[in-house]
Amino acid sequence: MKNKNIYTNNVVWQFFASIKLAVVILFFLAATSIIGTFIPQNASSAFYYQKYGEIIYKIFSILNIFDMYHAWWFLMLLGLLIINLIVCSINRLNFVWKIIFPENIVFNVERFRKIKEKYKFVSKKNINELKGQYKTFLEKKFKKVIIKNTENGVAFFIETKRWTRLGAYIVHFSILLLLFGVIIGSLFGFKGFVQIPEGKTIDTVKIRKNSKIQKLGFKVKCNKFDVSFYDNGSPAEYKSNITIFENKKQILIKDIIVNDPLKYKGITFYQSSYGTTSIKQVSIAIINPRTKKTYIKQISQGQEIILPEKRGKFVFYKFVNSYNFHGHNLGETFIGKYIDNNEKAFKIIIPLKFPLFDKMRKGHFIFKIKELEKKYYTGLQVTKDPGVWYVYAGFIFMIIGCWITFFLSHQSFCIEILEKEKNNNVLVSGISHRKTQNMKIKITKLGQKLMDM
């Protein structure tokens, strides 16, 4: 029966059919995975060069340590795992299959007689009466019962949950399914990103891996972006209001927030970042603190205006999303340049959070932002992953398979009645394909039920 086929005797086959190999591969996967958690992944070459020096940098480059989870040797380990898993399963499934679907059920009383832990009791009832009672009870409880006359009485044999021996195979299958999904995803999917300013529309995204441009096949417009904050200043919600157009027709409108992406035609848009687009026009208030006189001026980026009271010129230099002032981040800040009549320039910073910041400078004027039309852009992660359903199916099978393997087992029970002159002895015993304590409890319960009948 064993090794009927030539190929299963093959050395290569035997090598891959070994559980030792599985343990070794799992060990190497675990051990090498540690490397990538200590060495930052996918940073710039300059960073690594500076951090590790030339020699180590070269060695690491060859081994692709800087992107080690996609390195040839790591993928090779995974490949070995897959082969190992398939060969090992086929090899053993043969054997397990015969247990689950036997040609004829063998019932060996001797096997149960050898078990030390039994539930025993004495019954005064006649053996035929017992036999009838037990038969109806057991058949109702277990459906299939084999009854066999023995040299000194009668024995009942019950077998349950044979199929649970497949549990481990379900787990292994789930791993294959999951890895299959990963491969499908990396072959036919993409991961990209795009930044859309409010009011603008895009129809392509940039792929993260290689910065290639990917066409979407439809248009995506960001109508509005909003960010809200808690009292303590930490962000509460990022929200983009998005419209999808196809052939100039509006298809749908949706708010995307973190944890609630937009899906359309197999492509998913996730809220991932945001920022402000450069500000085009600002209305600034120029205040003379002594006379309390205020002048309002419109100014656009790069523009230079003549200041009132013949006090020189002012330039809208740029607008930044964060500004570092003596170690403090002032957030979104307007930066201007004040040029006095002697052509001397001063940097003017006006953080939006602190409109009167310029008062500190104690200049002739205080510059203050009166109004600005601020526009956000939203940063979206855009992915297409046709493999994800295989991965999810793998997840479900894995949970089910683990549950079956850990908490269910193939069990057989034997109830033997030994005929004595007056009192019949009843022996209840059982075998589980996992040798757990649970069997003892089950046997006791079953024995008590039979005794009380």
Partner 1 sequence: MDSSMVLSITTFVYGFASFLYIGSWTFKKELMAKLGMIILILGFAGNTFGILMRWKESYEMGYGHAPFSNMYESLVFFSWTMAFFYIFVEYKYKERIIGVFGTPLIFLAIAYASLAPNIHDKITPLIPALKSNWLIAHVITCFLGYAGFAVGFGFSIMYLLKPEKKKQKFFWSRLPSTSIIDELVYQMVIFGFLFLTIGIITGSVWANSAWGTYWSWDPKETWSLITWFIYAILLHLRMMRGWHGKRIAWVSIIGFMAVLFTYFGVNYLPGLHSYL
Give the nearer residue to ligand HEM in terms of CB position, either 178 or 414. 178
The number of helix segments (H) and strand segments (E) in the chain equals: 9, 22
Contact map string, positions 69 to 88, toward partner 1, x by CB under 8 A: x-------------------
Given candidates 3, 9, 10, 41, which one binds partner 1 under the rule CB under 8 A? Answer: 41
Q: How many angstroms from the chain centroid is the CA of residue 47?
A: 29
Q: How far apart are CA 237 and CA 279, in angstroms?
A: 23
Q: Tell which residue, 220, 218, 223, has the closest CA to residue 199.
A: 223
Q: Is 268 in the site for partner 1 (CB under 8 A)?
A: yes
**SS3 of residue 298 by DSSP:** strand
Compute the least distance from the CB of residue 30 to partner 1, in Å. 4
Contacts with partner 1 in 412-441 (CB under 8 A)?
Answer: 436-437
User: Which tokens hold the place of 60?
Assistant: 């690491």
Compute the least distance from the CB of residue 24 to partner 1, in Å. 9
Compute the least distance from the CB of residue 281 to partner 1, in Å. 31
* Contact residues: ligand HEM, CB under 6 A: 19, 22, 26, 81, 84-85, 88, 92, 96, 168, 171-172, 175, 402, 405
Give the nearer residue to ligand HEM in terms of CB position, either 394 or 447. 394
Q: What residues pair up with 50 in beta bridges, in sequence order?
A: none
Residue 115's alpha-carbon distances to 162, 440, 445, in angstroms, are 20, 11, 17
Residue 133's alpha-carbon distances to 137, 243, 274, 413, 449, in angstroms, are 6, 73, 76, 17, 12
Q: How far apart are CA 358 and CA 188, in angstroms?
A: 55
Indicate which of partner 1, ligand HEM, none lies near residue 96 (CB less than 5 to 8 Å, by partner kind).
ligand HEM
Q: How far apart are CA 422 and CA 120, in angstroms?
A: 16
Contacts with partner 1 in 80-139 (CB under 8 A)?
Answer: none
Give the nearer residue to ligand HEM in terms of CB position, either 91 or 288. 91
Given candidates 3, 10, 19, 374, which one binds partner 1 under the rule CB under 8 A? Answer: 19
Q: How far apart are CA 342 and CA 312, in angstroms?
A: 8
Q: Is 273 in the site for partner 1 (CB under 8 A)?
A: no
Q: Is 236 in the site for partner 1 (CB under 8 A)?
A: yes
Q: Are strands 328-329 and 345-351 parallel, antiparallel or unpaired?
A: unpaired
Compute the least distance from the CB of residue 16 to ligand HEM, in Å. 8
Number of residues that bind partner 1 (CB under 8 A): 50
| CA-angle at 109, arms to 106 and 114, nearest 5° | 125
**What residue is closest to ligand HEM based on CB?**
88
Would you tell me which residues interact with partner 1 (CB under 8 A)?
19-20, 22-23, 26-27, 29-30, 33-34, 36-38, 40-41, 69, 182, 191, 230, 232, 234-238, 257-261, 268, 270-272, 381-383, 385, 388, 391-392, 395, 398-399, 402-403, 406-407, 436-437
